[in-house]
Amino acid sequence: MPLFLSLVVIFATLSAQAKEISSTRALYLSDTKFDAAGESQIKTFKVSKNAIGFQINILGDRDSYLVSYLESPKGEVFVSDEPQGVVISKVEREKEPAVGQMLSPNRSLPGIFHGTGTLLFPNSDNLKVSMGDWKFRIRAFGKPAGEPEITNVTIVVKELGDGEVAYAVLPIYTHFKISGGFSPEGKNTTEVLASASEVFKALGIRFKVQKSDNFEEDISANYFPEKFFRKEKESDGIHIYFGDQQLPNSICGISANLPGMTLMNSPVRTGVYLTSKVPDHSNQDIGHILSHEIGHQLGLFHVSERYFVNETVLKDNISDTHKGNEDRFNVMYPDTLMPEPHFTAGQAIVLLKNPLLKLFDNSN
């Protein structure tokens, strides 16, 4: 069954008889315990033959969490300290505690927000979910806040039913800083969302705004970037915060975790923050920045970025992206201020396997 019409990028018109052919199910794992080094016991979960992707979400009271090991039912090791064929120096291990996971076939990074960790599988277009029992391990950073230690692990499995995927829908929640530069019905907001929507529409992904509200930014908080995000009870879509706080290094937007928390059973901080304080940038530019940050929320890394340990350029795990300036028109290039940015077919495969995207066919 072709996942995306043989990867021909098509935007299908919404049909009155459109049928959702994807579904999700959440698995809640308890009794996560860590040894003195912060490593958990091996945990397992089962996926069906219809599974096309899954996301592991970790929420606890440590500084952050990392999926440090992931093994398929076939014995394929997709995340580990010692990825096959990769030579890691002692200096790299000393400077980067998750270097093996960063260089694994399915890249894994510690959570950005305090007390969180996430992993999307697959985040490479070359990897596939296999049916059976999966194994994984979690690494915790920092000390527990108290006893008993509380760590919640939710695994959201995405399954695909019968039919051919014609298009996808991404639920969106918008939040506006009171008296900020954006407003729910304002020209700036409309143009920014339209710009971002055009980028995703090329993949057959359409936005569906679920609701909008106002918010007050907690500028007294001292943990950047948590202060820009609220704890939202809805975790079935992307939360976009339109604010007016000046961001460090003149950046225009930030993403909460990579990927963002998905379909949790408790309120979490997640989403994308955009600032109205972006001099010399058009609304179209800001829309492209929003597309980039949504890409992070859905599990995409930069196509390439400088690996700070030894200053080499590290490419993502997508087969049809490239290192350096060759991909400067890609949405996930670190500097997104390019005209008509685009995703590749390989990036589309990863996006469509994220549990947040609802997949539809156009069968009558």
- Coil, helix or strand at residue 291: helix
Q: How confident is the model at residue 327 (pLDDT cuts 50, 70, 90)?
A: confident
DSSP state of 238: E
Residue 358 confidence (pLDDT) above 70: yes
Q: Examine the pLDDT at 13 and tell me if it is beyond 90.
A: no
Task: Look up the CATH architecture of domain 22-160.
Answer: Sandwich (2.60)
Coil, helix or strand at residue 73: coil
pLDDT for residue 226: 63
* 8-20 average pLDDT score: 52
Confidence of residue 355 (pLDDT cuts 50, 70, 90): very high
Residue 18's pLDDT is what? 77
**pLDDT 10s digits, 41-78:** 999 999 999 999 999 999 888 889 999 999 999 999 99
- Whether the pLDDT of residue 16 is over 90: the answer is no
The dihedrals phi and psi of 52, each to the nearest 5 degrees, come to: -120, -10
- pLDDT at res. 211: 87
Nearest C-alpha neighbor of 300 from the set 67, 93, 109, 115: 109
* 80 and 188 Cβ atoms separated by less than 8 Å: no
| Residue 22: pLDDT over 90 | yes
What is the structure's pLDDT at 336? 64
Percent of the chain with pLDDT over 90: 42
The pLDDT, as a whole number, for residue 17 is 62
Mean pLDDT of the chain: 83
The secondary structure of 86-129 as a DSSP string is ----HHHHHH-TTHHHHTSSS-----SSTTEEEEEE--STT---
Encode pLDDT of 178-237 as tens digits: 656 777 777 888 888 999 999 999 999 999 999 888 877 654 444 455 666 777 778 889
Instruction: Find out whether 275 and 247 touch, Cβ atoms under 8 Å.
Output: yes
What's the CATH fold of domain 167-359? Collagenase (Catalytic Domain) (3.40.390)
pLDDT of residue 255: 85
- DSSP H or E stretch at residue 348: helix 345-352
Q: What does the block give as tokens for 98?
A: 């998750």
Q: Could you state, in order of their start, the residue ranges of all structural domains in the chain?
A: 22-160, 167-359
Query: Dihedral through CA 345, CA 170, CA 283, CA 330, nearest 10?
Result: -20
Does the pLDDT at position 326 exceed 70? yes
Strands 238-243 and 271-275, how do they pair? Answer: parallel
For residue 337, pLDDT over 60 is answered with: yes
The pLDDT tens digits of the residues spanning 85-121 come to: 888 888 888 778 888 999 999 999 998 777 889 999 9
